[in-house]
Amino acid sequence: MCEDPQLNKIRHRRLRYAERKLREAQLRLARTERSIIHWSRKLADLKYERTCAVQPSLWPQEKTKEED
């Protein structure tokens, strides 16, 4: 059974196209995952920063000065 060279070229072209699309999708996925990690850390930092800014001190200032 002989294969048609034209069909072989078409298959080869479709295969290359599919491989390229797969690589592009994998790159997009990797970028998206890095972006999610980056922004999750940013959000956590901002929430922590806000918590630190609003948290009242545990002991009144007079007591800590008297102990020193």
The CA-atom distances, in angstroms, between 24 and each of 11, 29, 35 are 20, 9, 16
Structural domain count of the chain? 1
Residue 54 has what pLDDT?
A: 64
In terms of residue numbers, what domain contains 52? 5-67
To the nearest 5 percent, what fractions of the chain are helix, strand and coil? 85, 0, 15
CA distance 6 to 61: 86
Residue 5 has what pLDDT?
A: 85
Give the predicted TM-score (pTM) of the model. Answer: 0.58
- CB neighbour burial string for 20-48, b if at least 16 within 10 angstroms, e if fewer: eeeeeeeeeeeeeeeeeeeeeeeeeeeee
Task: Average pLDDT across each block of 10 residues of the chain; the chain has 68 residues. List them in order.
Answer: 81 96 98 97 89 70 58
